[in-house]
């Protein structure tokens, strides 16, 4: 009988330079996992040129799947469909794991067995950070008491908590919907500040386009995620609902911020605020979440405050 892999690594690929993909694979293979303990699933999401020809040295270590282009969420879902590991880790093909720091995350999973291990990113491909871990907490507690980082590559998780949860396809910001719903299912999460993931920003990555039509789609997708989470919060038990509502309120604040800095259009902003108002999401909920949230809420509640934000909020640099 075949041994169940300890962890499945799911790597979506779309027009990524092959040298980056190979660096990503090398960073996984270097880990202290026996071949039987790891499963590396490369999902080629319809790249213009298949990277398979450059992967001859890795064919014994990977499962290669090529599909018609469907976007990041679709590729990750295909990986989930084929994953058999006890734990699952998403890794973007142009990123890599930082060996010594990620080994610590593996040890947490091996010896403490939480439903999720959440870690930090680094802009460097190496890290000597002296890390510390927090006590295990439920997902409900984390969502209720702190702001989370939604990036799906920022944690490994037990396959058993996934259930029927999948990424919504064809949208941007799919992590913002998937991650809080996954966290809510977790009975135990251990957070570590180990910098276990090397995150790169590329000019040609899928989220760097700055044309107006692309900006509007991003904003509309983000808004739709907020609405779906808000609707879901309305039908779940009270403690879970309060936890998810904090995330909804935080995302609503982020959405208003994005509208301001990405459009610089007061008429568009006013229309979006009116739509949020009809949904019951504006004015922002009067909650004592963070100083930033309280400050932003007060300013968005007045025309003078909105005018101030329109003048002073910085233009943001779009990154993947």
**Is the domain of 18 the same as that of 73?**
yes
Among the three residues 143, 176, 198, which one is the final residue of a domain in this structure?
Answer: 198
**Is the domain of 111 the same as that of 231?**
no
**Is the domain of 83 the same as that of 189?**
yes
Q: Identify whether 317 is part of a domain.
A: no
- The predicted-structure confidence for 247-284, as pLDDT tens digits, reads as follows 999 999 999 999 999 999 999 999 999 999 999 999 99
- The predicted-structure confidence for 41-79, as pLDDT tens digits, reads as follows 999 999 999 999 999 999 999 999 999 999 999 999 999
Q: Identify whether 224 is part of a domain.
A: yes
**Is the domain of 88 the same as that of 20?**
yes
Q: Identify whether 205 is part of a domain.
A: no
**Is the domain of 152 the same as that of 264?**
no
What is the distance between the alpha carbons of residues 75 and 234, in angstroms, rounded to a whole number?
30
Compute the radius of gyration of the chain from its Cα atoms.
Answer: 20
Among the three residues 167, 198, 229, which one is the final residue of a domain in this structure?
Answer: 198
Q: Identify whether 1 is part of a domain.
A: no
What is the distance between the alpha carbons of residues 119 and 196, in angstroms, rounded to a whole number?
6
Q: Identify whether 282 is part of a domain.
A: yes
pLDDT of residue 317 exceeding 50: no
Among the three residues 139, 166, 198, which one is the final residue of a domain in this structure?
Answer: 198
**Is the domain of 28 the same as that of 171?**
yes
Q: Identify whether 179 is part of a domain.
A: yes
- The predicted-structure confidence for 173-218, as pLDDT tens digits, reads as follows 999 999 999 999 999 999 999 999 999 975 545 555 568 899 999 9
Q: Identify whether 320 is part of a domain.
A: no
Please give the tally of structural domains in the chain: 2
Range of the domain at 64: 7-198
Average pLDDT over residues 234-249: 97
Q: Identify whether 204 is part of a domain.
A: no
Give the global pTM: 0.94
């Amino acid at each position: 009988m075949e041994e169940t892999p300890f962890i499945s690594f799911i790597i979506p690929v779309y027009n990524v330079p092959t040298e980056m993909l190979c660096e990503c694979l090398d960073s996984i293979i270097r880990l202290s996992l026996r071949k039987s303990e790891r499963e590396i699933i490369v999902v080629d999401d319809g790249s213009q040129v298949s990277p398979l020809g450059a992967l001859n040295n890795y064919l014994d270590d990977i499962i290669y799947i090529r599909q018609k282009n469907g976007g990041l969420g679709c590729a990750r879902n295909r990986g989930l469909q084929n994953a058999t590991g006890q734990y699952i880790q998403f890794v973007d093909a142009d990123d890599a794991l930082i060996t010594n720091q990620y080994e610590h995350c593996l040890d947490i999973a091996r010896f403490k067995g939480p439903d999720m291990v959440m870690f930090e990113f680094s802009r460097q491909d190496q890290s000597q950070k002296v890390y510390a871990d927090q006590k295990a907490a439920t997902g409900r507690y984390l969502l209720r008491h702190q702001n989370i980082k939604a990036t799906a590559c920022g944690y490994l998780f037990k396959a058993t908590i996934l259930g029927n949860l999948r990424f919504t396809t064809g949208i941007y910001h799919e992590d913002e919907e998937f991650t809080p719903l996954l966290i809510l299912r977790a009975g135990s999460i251990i957070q570590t500040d180990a910098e276990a993931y090397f995150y790169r920003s590329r000019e040609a990555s899928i989220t760097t386009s700055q044309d107006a039509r692309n900006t509007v789609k991003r904003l509309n997708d983000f808004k739709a995620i907020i609405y779906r989470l808000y609707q879901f919060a309305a039908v779940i038990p009270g403690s879970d609902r309060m936890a998810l509502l904090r995330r909804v309120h935080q995302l609503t604040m982020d959405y208003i911020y994005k509208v301001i800095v990405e459009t610089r259009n007061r008429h568009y902003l006013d229309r979006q605020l009116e739509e949020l108002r009809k949904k019951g999401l504006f004015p922002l909920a009067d909650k004592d979440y963070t100083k930033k949230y309280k400050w932003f809420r007060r300013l968005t509640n007045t025309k003078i405050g909105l005018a101030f934000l329109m003048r002073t909020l910085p233009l943001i640099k779009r990154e993947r």
